[in-house]
Amino acid sequence: MPSVLNFKKTEIPAVMAFLRQYDELSADKYQKYRTKVGACSVILFDSGKLLIQGDNANAVSKRILEMVKIPDEQIVGVDETGRGEDFGPFVICGVLGLRSKLREVRDSKKTANIAQKKVLVEKNADQIACIEYSAKTIDELRSAGTNMNQIQAKAVDFLVDFFRRSGFLGKIVIDGNPIAVESKNVFFIPKADDSEPAVAAASIVAKFIRDASKDNDKRASWKKKSA
């Protein structure tokens, strides 16, 4: 089975430094470097995706992670799904884990087998916490004057408090533009699900929960443009 690792743009030079130990093979469009490591084909894409194909792909993947000199870090990633939809739940998830253990997952919008990747996240994450607002709850909150930014901010504050109370004092990265949260020392980064494995992992879990939900109710409050 192929193995996939995902690296940030700033991490690509370190990956390239390792791959250049091996002879470069002809690469296609969007492929930054193509080579063979042992019996495995290894392709680095411009996006930072590293595809390893061969009978011992997992072993080669592990070796690459060990040899590429990128500092590891345990972080919390937070992402949501369903915010802009006119039906069903709004799900916000947080995932705590080491970057090195979560590199096999990508943003849910770029992932075909969500259920399979969700199992991978559960296996490799240290902690997972999620909040789900039903369509009915969203309508009730919005009818009471609470907008979507405020709903999301409350969920983010709850998740941050959960991880802090669990003893985690490190970095917390939230996908998207800043919203008015009460939490301190958190980082809002647009497209963080493309650059931080823990955020990508959170997007996978959130998408799985929303897809599995039996709540397909229309949001009556969506007659108005959501904030």
- Full residue range of the structural domain in which residue 150 is found: 74-223
- Same structural domain for residues 107 and 188? yes
- For residue 108, the model assigns a pLDDT of 57
**151 close to 133: Cβ distance less than 8 angstroms:** yes
The annotation places the binding site at: 79-80, 175
Provide the H-helix boundaries in 57-196: 57-67, 99-102, 114-124, 135-143, 148-165, 192-195
26 has pLDDT over 60: yes
- Same structural domain for residues 28 and 98? no
Encode pLDDT of 15-24 as tens digits.
999 999 999 9
Question: Edge-to-edge strand order for the sheet containing 172-175?
Answer: 127-133, 90-98, 74-81, 172-175, 187-189
| pLDDT tier at 99, thresholds 50, 70, 90 | very high
Encode pLDDT of 163-192 as tens digits.
999 999 999 999 999 999 999 999 999 988
- Same structural domain for residues 46 and 79? no
- Same structural domain for residues 204 and 94? yes
Using CA atoms, how far apart are residues 177 and 170, in angstroms rounded to an integer? 20
- For residue 180, the model assigns a pLDDT of 96
Using CA atoms, how far apart are residues 114 and 154, in angstroms rounded to an integer? 26
- For residue 8, the model assigns a pLDDT of 86
| pLDDT tier at 107, thresholds 50, 70, 90 | low
pTM over 0.95: no
Which tokens sit at 164?
Answer: 């802090």
Using CA atoms, how far apart are residues 226 and 195, in angstroms rounded to an integer? 27
Element housing 79 (H / E) = strand 74-81
- Same structural domain for residues 186 and 147? yes
Whose CA is closest to 12, among 41, 46, 36?
46
Q: What is the mean pLDDT of residues 95-118?
A: 83
223 has pLDDT over 80: no
109 has pLDDT over 70: no
Question: How would you label 161-177 residue by residue, b for 16+ Cβ within 10 Å and e otherwise?
Answer: ebbeeeebeeebbbbbe
What's the number of domains the chain is made of? 2
The annotation places the binding site for a divalent metal cation at: 79-80, 175
